[in-house]
């Protein structure tokens, strides 16, 4: 069953199409990530689902109910924003139950839910503190607790970890994913960080200029990028894209080997040592190319390296449209068959 469905949804700001004919589905109990660069329309799409913006076209359903023209309160969702949006004068406990108090939930029910939620987000020992007495990760847990206590089946998150340092982001994304699976809630999560998307999502919707570039499982976007844009955006470092004559080919850095008598020779420009592996930044026919090597590489800037890769690991794109060529062939066959 689909918990959220967008059908041909659009939102325009004057001549600019912030969201342009977007259709997607989030299955019940899944974590769907809206991914893309700044200005691609991912946060606007989330706000349309939440009812914080009105659609100019299309329909939105949540749990099988058309909510396109309902206000946010009627959509029965919870939301976590980029800023923690906590009341500084209220304690942790008061921040978490604030929404329940506004809705007139009884004191006994509020206390019972608070106890359950405090255990889930590990805040039981901090309930009397004020937000100023908490770390960034603890404040984010308060925001999560406030969303969970509403007991909504759908939770929307707008870049909730962008204010945290790298170590804390890693810890929190693991906690959020575990929490989503434990509670069985449907979650739509907005981020510009492809590492968050790849490690957390059941499904990734990559957006570009208000439209969906590719929609699929994380491994699908990584192993079979539908366009050169997807290939560039997914992966750390991203896929190498090389123009050779009238061809545009892509090769992941980890699929390139240094071999004696290799098919090509590249010149090393710099080396990034990451501990378990090294990223060797090279130049190939005037184009940048990255090679991932195991361990602490001893190559140095200025070295010439013979490289090769297997044909099975080569991705081919149309040089003009930058669409994946086997996708173009498939579409042409369908068109020819009249399907």
What's the CA gap between 142 and 93, in Å, rounded? Answer: 9
Rounded-to-integer distance, Cα 26 and Cα 186, Å: 7
Q: Which of the listed residues 191, 223, 255 is the one where a domain comes to its end?
A: 223
In contact, 230 and 197? CB cutoff 8 Å: no
Q: Flag whether 279 is in a domain.
A: yes
The CATH number covering residue 35 comes to 3.40.50.300
pLDDT at residue 331, rounded to an integer: 54
Residues 282 and 326 in one domain: yes
**Interval 279-306 mean pLDDT:** 95
Helix and strand counts by DSSP (H, E) for the chain: 9, 18
Predicted pLDDT at 87: 93
**Same structural domain, 125 and 194:** yes
pLDDT higher than 70, residue 332: no
Whether residue 1 is predicted with pLDDT greater than 60 in this model: the reply is no
Q: Can you give the pLDDT at residue 94?
A: 94
- In tens, the pLDDT along 80-112 reads 988 878 999 999 999 999 999 988 999 999 999
Peptide bond into 235 cis (omega under 30): no
Average the pLDDT over 221-239 and give the result: 96
Q: Is 285 exposed, middle or buried (0-12, 13-18, 19+ CB in 10 A)?
A: exposed
Whether residues 216 and 132 fall in one domain:
yes
Three-state secondary structure call for residue 143: helix
* Residue 81 dihedral angles phi and psi, to the nearest 5°: -95, 170
* pLDDT for the residue 91: 96
Q: Over 70: is that where the pLDDT of 2 sits?
A: no
Percent of the chain with pLDDT over 70: 96
- Number of domains the chain is built from: 2
On average, the pLDDT of the chain sits at: 92
Q: Please list, in sequence order, all residues whose beta carbon lies within 8 angstroms of the beta carbon of residue 229, skipping any fewer than 6 positions away.
A: 206, 208, 213, 322
pTM attached to this predicted model: 0.89
Which of 223, 256, 287 terminates a domain? The answer is 223
3-state secondary structure of 139: helix
Cβ count near 211 (within 10 Å): 15
Instruction: List the single range of 189-193, 244-248, 251-255 with lowest mean pLDDT.
Output: 244-248
Pair of tokens at residue 279: 């990223």
Neighbours of 196 (CB within 10 A): 24
202 shares a domain with 132: yes
């Amino acid at each position: 069953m689909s918990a959220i469905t967008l059908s041909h949804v659009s939102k325009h700001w004057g001549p600019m199409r912030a969201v342009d004919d977007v259709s997607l589905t989030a299955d019940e109990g899944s974590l769907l990530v809206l991914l893309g660069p700044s200005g691609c329309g991912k946060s606007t799409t989330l706000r349309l689902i939440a009812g914080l913006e009105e659609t100019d076209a299309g329909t939105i359903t949540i749990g099988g109910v058309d909510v396109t023209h309902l206000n946010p309160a009627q959509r029965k969702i919870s939301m976590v924003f980029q800023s923690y949006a906590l009341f500084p004068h209220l304690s942790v406990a008061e921040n978490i139950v604030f929404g329940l108090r506004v809705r007139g939930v009884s004191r006994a029910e509020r206390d019972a839910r608070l106890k359950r939620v405090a255990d889930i987000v590990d805040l039981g020992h901090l309930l009397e503190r004020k937000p100023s007495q908490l770390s960034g990760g603890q404040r984010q847990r308060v925001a999560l607790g406030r969303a969970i206590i509403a007991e909504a089946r759908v939770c929307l998150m707008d870049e909730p970890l962008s204010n945290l340092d790298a170590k804390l982001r890693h810890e929190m994304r693991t906690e959020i994913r575990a929490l989503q699976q434990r509670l069985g809630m449907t979650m739509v999560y907005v981020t510009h960080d492809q590492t968050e998307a790849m490690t957390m999502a059941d499904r990734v919707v990559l957006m570009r200029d208000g439209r969906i570039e590719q929609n699929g499982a994380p491994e699908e976007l990584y192993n079979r990028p539908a366009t050169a844009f997807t290939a560039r955006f997914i992966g750390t470092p991203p896929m190498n894209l090389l123009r050779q004559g009238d061809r545009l080919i892509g090769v992941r850095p980890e699929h390139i080997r240094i071999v004696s008598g290799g098919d090509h020779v590249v010149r090393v420009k710099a080396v990034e040592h990451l501990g378990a592996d090294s990223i060797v930044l090279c130049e190939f026919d005037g184009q940048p190319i990255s090679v991932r090597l195991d361990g602490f590489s001893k190559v140095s800037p200025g070295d010439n390296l013979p490289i090769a890769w297997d044909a099975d690991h080569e991705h081919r794109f149309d040089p003009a449209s930058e669409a994946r060529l086997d996708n173009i062939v498939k579409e042409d066959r369908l068109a020819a068959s009249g399907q």
